[in-house]
Chain A
């Protein structure tokens, strides 16, 4: 297993490139406008820039299919920066989770289209799924049934549906999609209904738990990005906000809380670096690392966003300030792909610390 937990020069360069692009193309004002408008599946212009312009949709697609081939560390950098900007694009769900699931099958042409960014895909499972999915019945090449609360499926050209005998691809337009009014409107959810929808077997069902492990790990990278924005923004506010004749950031009651938050963020960053390094070197410890990452990532994201709201005082509770975008995304991602409590339960089994005597 690779134990390199520090960022390489290439990764630093990628990070600053993505951050620079996002500060120009995805300032928080445009995210706020996106959620205030309502109704869009994602920001198509930003997606074109990320996926095609910067060529980042294919980081996990093999080179033979037009991708860059299992660039896990680079993908984690991109996901983290997109999280930092609460960017409304389906990168995690399509370029990471669906691409991972599809990559475990034999579908070169679809992978090529995902790599180019012209097509986006979604794994048709509830956003909060952490264990085995409910399987839909399939026969004679058509699938029937419903799936509730699927992330980024609204605008996906392709849906990957776990069915009784494997993972099937269904054209996005062949499903009835009903938008859900969701806590986090920067990553829209929808309910899916399949009525004799044409479906094609693309991978075995073992692709699903594998994709969910990757989802949990990379989601933690997104959460580190969310948390770091919240911490940076809160620190900047406390340095400039004057009350009682001094910067409020000089009060120990606030400083100590932010110091603790920084420690927690430093730890989450280390855990995510470890989990991503493990994926990059074959995933020997993938199950433990994914649960570990999802727990600490979720906890730090929610805590950072909650502290961000609280320490901004009145302005932090308003619609016009971006803190709520992060609070909503943080809490929703904490539930996504298994809450910390679910992952602690799983971890207890994985590391032989069960509640019940065996």
Chain B
């Protein structure tokens, strides 16, 4: 169906809204709720769910207009998992009741979401996960352990992948749920990373009950539903719209300009190569966003995420090389519990260390290369021994 919302009509809606809701005097939450109810939250979502059924390309118009008006935002850095992964999945696979229950407080930031996918025994091989979901009347009962879960300590909801039938092959035995993180039997423990911080958590599930109405998609369709989440995750990790020298390269460029005495020809070559690569990746991100505006995220998002990880690592390493011993000074090794992650934040050591996670979180770079090789280029998969046998019979 053709969208009836034009940029001009959208701008007039925004003006009307701002005339009726003064960003300065309306309370933050009340303002955000009203913005959602006016369909000005994520304009490509359907009417009644925070959107107008408009083209995705119009979203920057809204975000820029509200920012210019000094309106409070929903602190997107804090609710990235909800916005980037849970919301598109709930929209694509949820029932009308599920969408109505979850999307509004997700967008306003009243309810934080986290993702319970990875397990100690299932990282790259996500479909091999072992957390069990057993049907019990109108409920499911879950037992297992999840890991690498950002925001679990503040989250109200989790998207969760579990195994409902171990006698089926690994992909077929998975079902997708939304878990209430306040339910009895959910235990969150901080997991300290090599940065010193505990940005992530381990989550233990012991006899946790999930009502069947919190299942997302059909029983046995967990893998299919998870694809929606993962495609969106890669876009949201790698795909921010930045100006030239935005992100990590801007930090290195500034360090170069600020430290003429530390420059060497070899470092100069490195800096220029990275500057070019970062700009090429940025322009690719812009192009992917334009493609996204026309449709759903495709495998191009994997390319953006892959180069983002490599670049962050190389750039942050070059910054340490440039700064020499001054770059070794850290602000703290304390086990902080950050609620927002800024890859370019803190000190050079933090940036270098945190970037190591970029090629692991959201799909390792190796898995992303497989995805590109198989889904984009159409190269054959490696011979597999694990896809046709019952999950319970796999070595582990």
Residues of A within 8 A of B (CB): 3-6, 231, 235, 238-239, 246-247, 249-252, 254-256, 258-260, 262-263, 266-271, 273-274, 292, 295-296, 344-345, 347-348, 351-353, 355-357
Contacts and interface: CB of A to CB of B under 8 A. Distances in A.
Contacts of A259: 306, 368-370, 372-373, 376-377
28 contacts: A5-B283, A5-B287, A6-B287, A6-B290, A238-B379, A239-B380, A249-B379, A249-B380, A250-B380, A250-B381, A251-B382, A252-B382, A254-B379, A255-B370, A256-B370, A259-B369, A260-B369, A267-B303, A267-B307, A270-B284, A292-B279, A296-B280, A347-B276, A352-B257, A353-B256, A353-B272, A353-B275, A357-B263
B243 interface: no
A302 B276 CA distance: 17
B379 A268 contact: no
Contacts of B382: 250-252
B366 interface: yes
A332 B369 CA distance: 30
B273 A344 contact: yes
Nearest to B381: A250
A352 B265 CA distance: 15
Contact of A353 (B257, B286, B291, B383): B257
B303 to A, nearest CB: 5
Contacts of B275: 347, 351, 353
Contacts of B279: 271, 292
B326 interface: no
B369 A344 contact: no
**What are the 3 A-B residue pairs with the smallest beta carbon separation, nearest first?**
A357-B260, A255-B373, A259-B369
Interface in B57-110: none
B307 A235 contact: no
Contact of A273 (B287, B373, B374): B287
Contact of A344 (B256, B269, B287): B269
Contacts of A239: 378-380
Contacts of A269: 287
B281 interface: yes
Given A258-B379, A267-B283, A347-B272, 10 more contacts: A235-B377, A246-B383, A250-B381, A255-B369, A255-B377, A256-B370, A259-B369, A270-B280, A344-B269, A357-B261
B203 interface: no
A288 to B, nearest CB: 8
B181 interface: no
Interface in B251-306: 253, 256-257, 260-261, 263, 265, 268-269, 271-273, 275-277, 279-281, 283-284, 286-287, 290-291, 294, 300, 303, 306
Contacts of A263: 303, 306-307, 372
A266 B294 CA distance: 18
A101 B20 CA distance: 57
Interface residues of B, number: 44
Given A270-B284, A347-B275, A247 B380 contact: yes
Contacts of B256: 353
Contacts of A296: 276, 280
Given A246-B383, A255-B379, A292 B276 contact: yes
A236 B376 CA distance: 13
Interface centre among A3, A239, A255, A259 (most CB of B within 10 A): A259
A250 B253 CA distance: 40
Given A6-B290, A344-B276, A271 B283 contact: yes
A345 B294 CA distance: 38
Contact of A271 (B257, B280, B379, B383): B280
Contacts of B366: 256
B379 A250 contact: yes
Nearest to A251: B382
Contacts of B306: 259, 263
A223 to B, nearest CB: 13
B263 A262 contact: no
Contacts of B253: 351, 353
Contacts of B307: 263, 267
A235 B379 contact: yes
A263 B369 CA distance: 9
Contacts of B374: 255
A66 B290 CA distance: 35
Contacts of B381: 250
A267 B276 CA distance: 11
Contact of A267 (B257, B280, B378): B280
Given A5-B290, A239-B378, A246-B380, A355 B265 contact: yes
A348 B272 contact: yes
